[in-house]
Chain A
Amino acid sequence: MAPPRALSEFVAEANEVLETLAHDVAVLDAQRGREPEPELLNAIFRAAHSLKGLSGMFGQERISSLAHHLEDVLDALRLGKVLASDPLLDAILEGVDVLTLMLREAAGDAPSEDTGRRAASLAEAFARLASGGQVGAADVLDEVGIDPAVRSVFTEYEEHRLRENVKKGVALWKVRAVFSLEDFDQRLAALNATLKPLGEVISTLPSSQPGDDASIAFDLIFGSARPLAEIEQAVAGVATVAQLTEKPVPPSAPRPEAAPRKPAPRLELSDVSSPELSAWPLSSGSSGTTSSPSGVMQGAEPSLRSLAQTVRVDIGRLDALMNTIGELLTVRANINRLAEVARQAGATPLPKLWAQELQKESRALERRLDELQGAVLDVRMVPLGQVFDKLARLMRRLVRQSGKDVHFEVSGGDVELDKLIVEELSDPLMHLLRNALDHGVEAPDRRIAQGKDARGVIRLTAQQLGNKVQIEVGDDGAGMDETRIRQVAIERGLATHEATEELERRELLNLVFLPGFSTRKDVSELSGRGVGLDVVKTNLARLSGLIDIDSRRGEGTRFVLTLPLTLAIIRALIVAVGDRSFAVPLNSVTEIVSVKPAELRTIERREVIEVRGQTLPFVRLARVFGLREATNDRHFVVIIGFAQERFGLAVDALLGQEDIVTKPLGGRLKAVPGIAGATELGDRRAVLVLDVGALLEELKRPQVAVG
Chain B
Amino acid sequence: MARARFDQLLERFFYRPEEPVGAWLELAPEIAEAVEDLEELPEEFLAFELSTETYAVPIGAVREILKVPVVTSVPRVAEHVLGVMNIRGEMLPLYDLKQRLHLETAPPRVTGPSDVPREARVVLLKDPEGDAGILVDLVRGVVRLPLSKLEPAPAMGGERRAVAGLGRKDGELYILLDVEQALA
Residues of A within 8 A of B (CB): 323, 326-327, 580, 624-627, 663-669, 672-675, 677-678, 680, 683-688
Contacts and interface: CB of A to CB of B under 8 A. Distances in A.
Interface of B: 69-70, 72-77, 81, 83-86, 88-93, 127, 129-132, 183
Contact of A663 (B75, B83, B89, B183): B89
Contacts of B72: 580, 678, 685-688
Given A666-B130, A668-B130, A680-B86, A674 B91 contact: no
B89 A669 contact: no
Nearest to A625: B75
A669 B75 contact: no
Given A664-B91, A666-B91, A669-B81, A627 B131 contact: no
Given A668-B129, A668-B183, A672-B77, A323 B89 contact: yes
B130 A672 contact: no
A666 B75 contact: no
B84 A669 contact: yes
A196 B172 CA distance: 91
A476 to B, nearest CB: 45
A667 B76 contact: no
A256 to B, nearest CB: 72
B93 A663 contact: no
A685 B70 contact: yes
Contacts of B129: 667-668
Contacts of B130: 666-668
Contacts of A327: 88-89
A668 B126 CA distance: 12
Contacts of B86: 678, 680, 684-686
B76 A666 contact: no
A36 B160 CA distance: 75
B89 to A, nearest CB: 5
B74 A665 contact: yes
Contacts of A667: 127, 129-132
A664 B89 CA distance: 11
Contacts of B75: 624-627, 672, 674-675
B91 A625 contact: no
B89 A688 contact: no
A687 B83 CA distance: 11
A433 B131 CA distance: 41
Contacts of A625: 75-76
Contacts of A664: 91
Given A666-B84, A672-B74, 13 more contacts: A580-B73, A625-B76, A663-B89, A663-B91, A666-B91, A666-B92, A666-B132, A667-B132, A668-B127, A669-B77, A672-B75, A675-B76, A684-B69
11 contacts: A323-B89, A326-B89, A624-B75, A666-B90, A667-B127, A667-B129, A669-B77, A680-B89, A685-B86, A686-B83, A688-B72
A580 B83 CA distance: 12
Most buried by A among B84, B88, B183: B84
Nearest to A322: B89
A674 B73 CA distance: 14
Q: Is the interface of A mostly helix, strand, loop or mixed?
A: mixed
Closest 5 CB pairs of A and B: A667-B130, A625-B75, A686-B86, A686-B72, A666-B93
Nearest to B81: A669
A627 B88 CA distance: 28
A625 B89 CA distance: 25
Contacts of A668: 93, 127, 129-130, 132, 183
A625 to B, nearest CB: 4
A684 B66 CA distance: 15
A693 B133 CA distance: 30
A223 B10 CA distance: 87
Contacts of B83: 686
Interface centre among B72, B75, B86, B130 (most CB of A within 10 A): B75
A185 to B, nearest CB: 52
Contacts of B89: 323, 326-327, 663, 680
A545 B75 CA distance: 24
A297 to B, nearest CB: 52
A686 B84 contact: yes
A265 B138 CA distance: 82
Nearest to B93: A666
A456 B75 CA distance: 50
A532 to B, nearest CB: 27
Contact of B131 (A663, A666, A675, A677): A666
A651 to B, nearest CB: 14
B76 A665 contact: no
B70 A665 contact: no
Interface centre among A624, A626, A678, A683 (most CB of B within 10 A): A678
A59 B149 CA distance: 59
Contact of B93 (A669, A680, A688): A669
Between A624, A627, A677, A688, the greatest number of chain B beta carbons within 10 A of the residue's beta carbon is seen for A688
B76 A672 contact: yes
Given A627-B75, A678-B84, A684-B70, A665 B90 contact: no
Given A680-B86, A684-B86, A686-B85, A665 B73 contact: no
A2 B10 CA distance: 45
Contacts of B131: 666-667
A673 B69 CA distance: 25
Contacts of B183: 668
A441 to B, nearest CB: 43
B139 to A, nearest CB: 21
A412 B103 CA distance: 61
A311 to B, nearest CB: 25
A663 B132 CA distance: 15
A496 B179 CA distance: 47
A688 B84 CA distance: 9
A171 B132 CA distance: 78
Q: Which of B73, B76, B129, B183 has the most chain A CB atoms closer than 10 A to its own CB?
A: B76
B123 to A, nearest CB: 15
A688 B76 contact: no
Contacts of A665: 74, 84, 91, 93
Contacts of A677: 91
A678 to B, nearest CB: 4
A685 B89 CA distance: 10
A674 B74 CA distance: 10
B24 to A, nearest CB: 41
Contacts of A688: 72, 74, 84
Contact of A686 (B76, B91, B127): B91
A547 B47 CA distance: 53
A391 to B, nearest CB: 35
Nearest to B86: A686
Contacts of A678: 72, 84, 86, 91
Contacts of B92: 666
Contacts of B69: 684
Contacts of A627: 75
A666 B86 CA distance: 10
A518 B83 CA distance: 37
Nearest to B111: A579
Nearest to B130: A667
Nearest to A626: B75
Contacts of B70: 683-686
Contacts of B85: 686
A669 B73 contact: no
A630 B81 CA distance: 24
A175 to B, nearest CB: 64
Contacts of A580: 72-73
Contacts of B76: 625-626, 672-675
A688 B92 CA distance: 12
Q: Which of A625, A626, A666 has the most CB of B within 10 A?
A: A666
Central interface residue in A327, A624, A686, by most chain B CB within 10 Å: A686
Contacts of A675: 74-76
